[in-house]
């Protein structure tokens, strides 16, 4: 089976013995839990669209490993065309769900681990690349969702992993056995972790001598012995628990999720290990994954932005303000910012190049520029959406008030906008904007735009590293006629 249906995906989750805690309780049936289910629906959309012939070109690809059609989320990029289609696919899914659909991290991890293991084997004679290829073939053949897990809790950010007072604050090997390793620690902020069949683990930072126990990459099933998850809270999440909740949810059907994934002495067999102490390659893996994931934001956040811009335009229309020049200008600005993000995602894809392993890597500088813009532009798009929506977005009475036999008609009367538009339609659009800018969906759009795929400073470090300032200085020297001889004389004079 190369492609699962939406229904098969849901059934596959039910068969797993995944341990999830939320609100201090072990969740018996996480698939149908009202808080978790919207995020599962978002992942399910990646399966649903893959079955739709009109989206086949974006959603499917031909595997270089098996020669079969696979979901693009399990694919190794074979060209710049693949890289561009990835961005377009992510924008499409953002438009369809108005939320995080959680499958990007695994796809980005596949491509980073594939190329890095090839180079580790070349340097050390290890067998990591073959291990990973077998794992990915298994993923492709079963169309699995994989949580790409990189971020550790980190503890004291001023100390290396091996120098932490509590060694578990970075995931690490606690026992090396003949048949594998035993690991302990956790991965934080894990998008879609609960909805995944497998976890693909990577180091979170570049490592150095002394950090060998922390320089690890491997894969384990989501229901592995000793692995459990603690579900992260989201703003307004308990609205989903309210009886008959609908309008107040804003986005009733879709959402994102994050979790703390805890590894309490989890065993990993040798054939599931992709990095094991080769500290000099940890940084390469981190940089490559970060580059792919920063490219992703030029697609997924743009698709969600499309929905938010549309909601703001509807709010203006329902308020009777759509013809105002300042409203038109704000919508133009929102569109300009959103399309600029998309341009960056497409640009870093178009400038991609093959790795030694054969899969394609994006242009790292442009990918980091893309994500740097994502840390800013969605915040301005959000601000403008809130401006257009008006204060009612955050002062509106509850859905139950609108349904009340006595005060319901009062709410209908005083919250009416344009006469031709039902009050309920106005309320629904305002709740959607609230959800996307302040509520549960804001995690996957607003806040994730800042911290997902690394903090803004992480991108600035990479931009400085990739920006090639010395080359730019040389360009300026040539333009003004400063030759190498005069430079040498100046340097000689300053050293005397």
- The rounded distance, in Å, linking the Cα atoms of 369 and 7 is 39
Q: Is 191 labelled as part of a ligand binding site?
A: yes
Are 153 and 186 a contacting pair, CB within 8 Å?
A: yes
Burial of 367 (0-12, 13-18, 19+ CB in 10 A): buried
Check if 191 is active-site: yes
- 348 annotated active-site: no
Residue 204 annotated to the active site: no
Contact between 257 and 195 under an 8 Å Cβ cutoff? The reply is yes
Active-site residue flag, 333: no
What angle (nearest 5°) sits at the alpha carbon of residue 292, between those of residues 351 and 140? 110
- Strand ranges (DSSP E) for 333-393? 353-354, 360-361
Query: Distances in Å between the alpha carbon of 243 and those of 158, 237, 240, 406, 457?
Result: 47, 13, 8, 20, 43
d(CA 396, CA 460): 40
Task: Specify which residues 354 forms β-bridges with.
Answer: 360
- Spatial CA neighbour of 28 closest among 41, 17, 38, 37: 17
Q: Name the 3-class secondary structure at 228.
A: strand
Instruction: Let me know if 258 is a catalytic residue.
Output: yes
Task: Exactly one of 258, 287, 399, 434 is catalytic; name it.
Answer: 258
Q: Considering Cα of 266, then 127, then 152, then 97, what sign does the dihedral take?
A: negative
Q: Which residues contact 417 (CB under 8 A, 6 or more apart)?
A: 318, 319, 320, 423, 426
The encoded tokens of residue 70 equal: 């696979």
Of these residues, 197, 212, 300, 386, which one is catalytic? Answer: 300
Sign of dihedral through CA atoms 292, 294, 296, 298?
negative
Of the residues 198, 212, 278, 448, only one is catalytic, namely 448
* Residue 28 falls in the annotated catalytic set: no
Buried (b) or exposed (e) across 1-11, using 16+ Cβ within 10 A? eebbebeebbe
Using DSSP, state whether 117 is helix, strand or coil: helix
Q: Active site includes 344? A: no
| Residue of 104, 344, 348, 411 with catalytic role | 104
Let me know if 297 is a catalytic residue: yes
Measured at the alpha carbon of residue 458, what is the angle toward residues 114 and 433, in degrees to the nearest 5? 95
| Residue ranges at the known binding site | 191
| Residue ranges at the known binding site for FAD | 191
Name the residues annotated as catalytic: 100, 104, 191, 258, 293, 297, 300, 448
């Amino acid at each position: 089976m190369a492609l699962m249906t939406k229904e098969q995906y849901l059934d596959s989750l039910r068969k797993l013995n995944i341990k999830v805690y939320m609100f201090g309780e072990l969740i018996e049936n996480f698939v149908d839990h009202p808080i978790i289910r919207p995020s599962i629906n978002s992942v399910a959309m990646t399966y649903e669209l893959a079955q739709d012939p009109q989206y086949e070109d974006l959603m499917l690809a031909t595997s270089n490993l098996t020669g079969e059609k696979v979901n693009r989320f399990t694919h190794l990029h074979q060209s710049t065309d693949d890289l561009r289609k990835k961005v377009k696919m992510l924008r499409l899914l953002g438009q369809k769900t108005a939320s995080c659909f959680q499958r990007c991290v695994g796809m980005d991890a596949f491509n980073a681990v594939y190329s890095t293991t090839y180079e580790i084997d070349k340097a050390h004679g290890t067998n990591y690349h073959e291990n990973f290829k077998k794992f990915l073939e298994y993923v492709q053949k079963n169309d699995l969702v994989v949580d790409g897990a990189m971020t550790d809790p980190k503890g004291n950010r001023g100390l290396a992993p091996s120098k932490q007072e509590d060694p578990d604050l970075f995931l690490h090997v606690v026992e090396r056995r003949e048949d594998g390793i035993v690991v302990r620690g956790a991965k934080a902020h894990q998008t879609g972790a609960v909805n995944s069949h497998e976890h693909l683990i990577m180091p979170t930072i570049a490592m150095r001598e002394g950090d060998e126990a922390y320089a690890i990459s491997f894969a384990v099933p989501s229901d592995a012995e000793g692995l459990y998850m603690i579900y992260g809270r989201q703003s307004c999440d308990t609205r989903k628990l309210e009886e008959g909740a609908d309008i107040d949810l804003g986005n009733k059907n879709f959402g994102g999720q994050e979790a703390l994934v805890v590894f309490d002495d989890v065993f990993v067999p040798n054939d599931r290990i992709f990095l094991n102490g080769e500290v000099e390659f940890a940084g390469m893996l981190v940089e490559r994954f970060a580059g792919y994931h920063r490219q992703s934001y030029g697609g997924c956040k743009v698709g969600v932005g499309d929905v938010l811009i549309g909601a703001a335009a509807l709010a203006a229309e329902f308020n009777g303000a759509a013809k105002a020049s300042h409203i038109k200008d704000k919508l133009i600005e929102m569109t300009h910012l959103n399309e600029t993000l998309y341009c960056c995602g497409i640009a870093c894809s178009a400038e991609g190049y093959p790795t030694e392993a054969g899969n394609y890597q994006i242009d790292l500088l442009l990918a980091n520029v893309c994500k740097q813009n994502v840390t800013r532009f969605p915040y301005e798009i959000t601000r403008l959406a809130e401006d257009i929506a008006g204060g009612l977005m955050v002062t509106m009475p509850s859905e139950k008030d609108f349904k009340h036999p006595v005060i319901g008609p009062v709410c209908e009367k005083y919250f009416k906008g344009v006469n031709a538009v039902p009050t309920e339609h106005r309320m629904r659009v305002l709740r959607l904007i609230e959800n996307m800018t302040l509520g549960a969906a804001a995690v996957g759009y607003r806040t994730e735009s800042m911290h997902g795929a690394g903090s803004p400073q992480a991108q600035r470090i990479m931009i400085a590293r990739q920006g090639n300032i010395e080359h730019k200085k040389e360009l300026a020297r040539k333009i003004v006629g400063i030759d190498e001889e005069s430079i040498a004389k100046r340097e000689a004079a300053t050293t005397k």
